[in-house]
């Protein structure tokens, strides 16, 4: 649930600042890469879904909301980068609380939106008639609205708990820390129950749904009487990509976070050195969780044909202008040959007007 980490020292009104500079440098490098790649990719993805595809299909609705969640997180990264570069929090307490809440909203929102995509494929392939009433864009929009409401509710305790703490640097200056300010009393009090509840609703339940729905879809498609089609192969790629994101980004972080929370809450007895070692692992796992906003656009491109075709269509005007300004290197061909070449080039590049064949697509062909 949380991107914050407790320092190993005993909390008090003011304490000596812990030395986390090496960890801060690692976060600075990784989050800089995430910002440089995730911001343009998710901004482009959101633009394609809203402007070109008009989110006609159920899966497009879920992917559009997933892109919005990822974009929101990448927009908050400059605050984190400033903190890790300075090794102290230079902004207001509210911005620290909001940056922490945005991380939580993105991670659990991504888990749930990926789950909805998988469940939609489960309904379309395993129970195409029984669950067809659930596979409507209006229902998908209502579900996404419910997801946003849920993660906003969970963000309220995070905002209240994530308050910067003060510490004294070696030069005797008092500074503020963010993302690493939880005391033992807070862990033993309200923080651990909130963490376990968020882990159950935002991670374990979606993970179980993803594994179950993917397993049922793979089993259905593996039957001898299953129809072999290009759409089915795209479905397999989509489900595999979702599983990879869960296993690579979310499982390591949430598993380590749960262990760390149990240790800090003294539910599982452990030495101070053991808790510090788990904390160091958690500081790396949180980077994997944040990297999901870079992997999600790859899911859109390789699994959503409408999205991929629209991106290809965006390059058509550039190719047309380039070919128009490039002088011919060979003598002119006969008139009938020129006509044939034009038809062939249109077949390769697609229509020159964006959206003419991409925005209107059947429910499943937009995958």
* pTM of the entire predicted model: 0.79
Secondary structure class of 353 (helix, strand, coil): coil
Mean pLDDT of all residues belonging to the chain: 79
**CATH 1.20.1070.10 matches 15-310:** yes
> Nearest CA to 73 among 155, 129, 18?
155
Please give the average per-residue pLDDT across 197-204, as a whole number: 90
Residue 103 contacts residue 285 (beta carbons within 8 Å): no
Long-range contacts of 261-267 (CB under 8 A, 24+ apart): 261/187, 261/191, 261/192, 261/195, 261/196, 262/192, 264/6, 264/182, 264/184, 264/187, 264/188, 264/192, 265/187, 265/188, 265/191, 265/192, 266/188, 267/192
Every domain of the chain and the residues it spans: 15-310
Residue range 40-99, pLDDT digits in tens = 999 999 988 887 666 678 888 999 999 999 999 999 999 999 999 998 899 998 999 999
From residue 266, alpha-carbon distances to 120, 198, 259, 276, 285 in Å are 41, 19, 11, 14, 22
Q: What is the mean pLDDT of residues 33-38?
A: 96
Contact yes or no for 304/367 (Cβ under 8 A): yes
Measure the CA–CA gap between 231 and 300, rounded to whole angstroms.
15
Answer yes or no: are the C-beta atoms of 288 and 249 closer than 8 Å: yes
Compute the distance between CA of residue 361 and CA of residue 154 in angstroms, rounded to an integer. Answer: 36
Percent with pLDDT over 90 in the chain: 37
Tokens representing 17 are: 């600042």
SS (H, E, C) 291-330: CHHHHHHHHHHHHCHHHHHHHHHHHHHHHHHHHHHCCCCC
């Amino acid at each position: 649930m949380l991107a914050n980490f407790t320092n190993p020292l005993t909390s008090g009104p003011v304490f000596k600042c812990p030395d986390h500079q090496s960890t801060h440098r690692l976060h600075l490098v990784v989050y800089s890469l995430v910002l440089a790649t995730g911001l343009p990719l998710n901004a482009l993805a959101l633009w394609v879904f809203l402007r070109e595809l008009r989110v006609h299909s159920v899966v497009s609705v879920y992917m559009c909301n997933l892109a919005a969640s990822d974009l929101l997180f990448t927009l908050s990264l400059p605050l984190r980068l400033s903190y890790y570069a300075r090794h102290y929090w230079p902004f207001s307490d509210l911005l620290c609380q909001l940056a922490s809440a945005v991380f939580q909203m993105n991670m659990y929102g991504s888990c749930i939106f990926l789950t909805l995509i998988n469940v939609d494929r489960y309904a379309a392939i395993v129970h195409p008639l029984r669950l067809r009433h659930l596979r409507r864009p209006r229902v998908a929009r209502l579900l996404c609205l419910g997801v946003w409401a849920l993660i906003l509710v969970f963000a309220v305790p995070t905002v209240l708990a994530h308050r910067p703490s003060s510490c004294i640097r070696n030069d005797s200056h008092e500074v503020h820390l963010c993302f690493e300010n939880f005391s033992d009393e807070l862990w033993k009090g309200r923080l651990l129950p909130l963490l376990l509840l968020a882990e159950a609703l935002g991670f374990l339940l979606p993970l179980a749904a993803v594994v179950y729905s993917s397993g049922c879809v793979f089993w259905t498609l593996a039957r001898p009487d299953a129809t072999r089609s290009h759409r089915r192969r795209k479905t397999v790629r989509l489900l595999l990509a979702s599983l990879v994101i869960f296993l690579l980004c979310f499982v390591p972080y949430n598993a380590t976070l749960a262990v760390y929370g149990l240790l800090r809450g003294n539910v599982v007895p452990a030495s101070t050195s053991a808790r510090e070692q788990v904390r160091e692992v958690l500081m790396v796992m949180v980077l994997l969780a944040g990297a999901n906003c870079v992997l999600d656009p790859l899911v859109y491109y390789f699994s959503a044909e409408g999205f991929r075709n629209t991106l290809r269509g965006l390059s058509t005007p550039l190719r047309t202008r380039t070919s128009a300004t490039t002088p011919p290197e060979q003598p002119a061909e006969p008139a009938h040959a020129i006509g044939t070449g034009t038809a062939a080039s249109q077949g390769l590049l697609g229509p020159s007007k964006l959206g003419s064949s991409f925005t209107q697509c059947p429910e499943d062909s937009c995958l």
